[in-house]
Amino acid sequence: MNPPVKVKVGTTGLIGAAALFAAVDNGYFREEGLDVELVPFRGTSDQTAPLATGEISFASVGLDPSFFNAVARGISFKIIAFPDIINPRDTSGSWMVRTDLVDSNRYKEPSDLKGMRVAISALGSFTQVMAERVLAKGGLTLNDVELVALAFPDMPAAFANKAIDAAFVVEPFVYVAESQGSAQTVMPSGQFFFPGTPVLVMAMSPVFAQQEPEAARRFRVGFLRGERDYYRTFMKHDGGREEFDVILSKYTPIKDPAMFTRMATHDVEPNGVMDATVMNEVQDYFIKYGTQQQKVDLSNVIDSSYAEYAVSRLGRMNP
């Protein structure tokens, strides 16, 4: 496309967006006639409003009530990819407990969480779903703990100050807490997530979809190439680790390549197939918490046509 179409993509710099970073760095979008600019955000939910207005064209967003509520209000977001799918081997996040509580045997198993002060990133969010699942492993409910909201970057200090007893923490803050000796991983995320959970989804602005339909299709081609790079490197172990480590060091806050071994553990689907089963289950939790008003029909949100176009251009890949 000449001149190149300007495309702004929201990102929080998480490892789950590795395919996006690969597509940018390897020039896949540029080859499709797109001038992609990454726009940093502190949290995934912060991207919902600018995505709705067209301030950004795409966003790597989490499973968040604000996204579903916006759809329920009539905003025609389209989900075009699942770039970060949890598997049983996933270690990109962890359930952590303060080290002194582990060493003293105050904590030995999930049932010991009873009465503890537990931190999650936001009340009524997907991290609360995860907390509920961990507690259930010990026969507990949310009513058995004191639940507090705390941003991920603040959790290591809160452990060190003994302000919290346990928390769901994501990398690199798991590494920070472990390095300072204030908390220990007692359960990696792969052991309590729903299998097949898309932790991040690539969502498209309705404004961009309407104004730039051809650019939208070409974006998916470039993005699928990035996903396939990730798939070959981290899922098939076909090489390319050094190159990917350089890319991740460039686009994430992590500068130590050794950390990517424990963080780049999610899956991608090399042909862009998206299964909405878990997203429907998560909506039920949000409605129970009162943070989502009504259930959204995801058949109107998840749009596989862009992936199908990309596969028609690139060919189908045999997993």
Domains 5-88+196-314 and 97-191 share a fold: yes
Task: For domain 5-88+196-314, give the CATH number.
Answer: 3.40.190.10
Mean pLDDT of the chain: 92
Whether the pLDDT of residue 122 is over 80: the answer is yes
Q: Distance (Å, rounded) from C-alpha 200 to C-alpha 263?
A: 15
- Looking at residue 2, its pLDDT comes to 73
Rounded to 5°, angle at Cα 269 from 88 and 235: 55
The predicted model gives 241-257 an average pLDDT of 88
Task: Reply yes or no on whether the pLDDT at 179 is more than 80.
Answer: yes
Task: Please say if the pLDDT value at position 162 is more than 90.
Answer: yes
Residue 113 phi/psi, 5° resolution? Answer: -70, -15
Predicted confidence (pLDDT) at residue 229 exceeds the cutoff of 80? yes
Quick one: pLDDT at residue 148? 97
Structure-block tokens of residue 97: 């407990």
pLDDT of residue 91: 81
- Give the Cα separation of 283 and 11 in Å (integer): 23
Containing 185, the helix (H) or strand (E) segment is: strand 183-188
Which pLDDT score is estimated for 153? 86
Q: Which of 237-246, 249-258, 278-287 has the lowest mean pLDDT?
A: 249-258
Q: Which of 142-151, 172-181, 204-213 has the lowest mean pLDDT?
A: 172-181
**DSSP state string for 225-288:** HHHHHHIIIIIS--S-HHHHHHHHHHHSS---GGGHHHH---B--TT-----HHHHHHHHHHHH
pLDDT digit string, tens, across residues 16-67: 899 999 999 999 999 999 999 999 998 778 899 999 999 999 999 888 898 9
- Is the pLDDT confidence value at 164 over 80? yes
- Least confident segment among 78-92, 190-204, 253-267: 253-267
Domain ranges of the chain: 5-88+196-314, 97-191
Round to whole Å and give the CA distance between 242 and 245: 5
The whole-number pLDDT of residue 165 equals 98
Identify the CATH class of 97-191.
Answer: alpha beta
**Cα distances (Å, whole numbers) of residue 319 to 90, 198, 263:** 19, 18, 22
Report d(CA 90, CA 193) in Å as an integer. Answer: 9
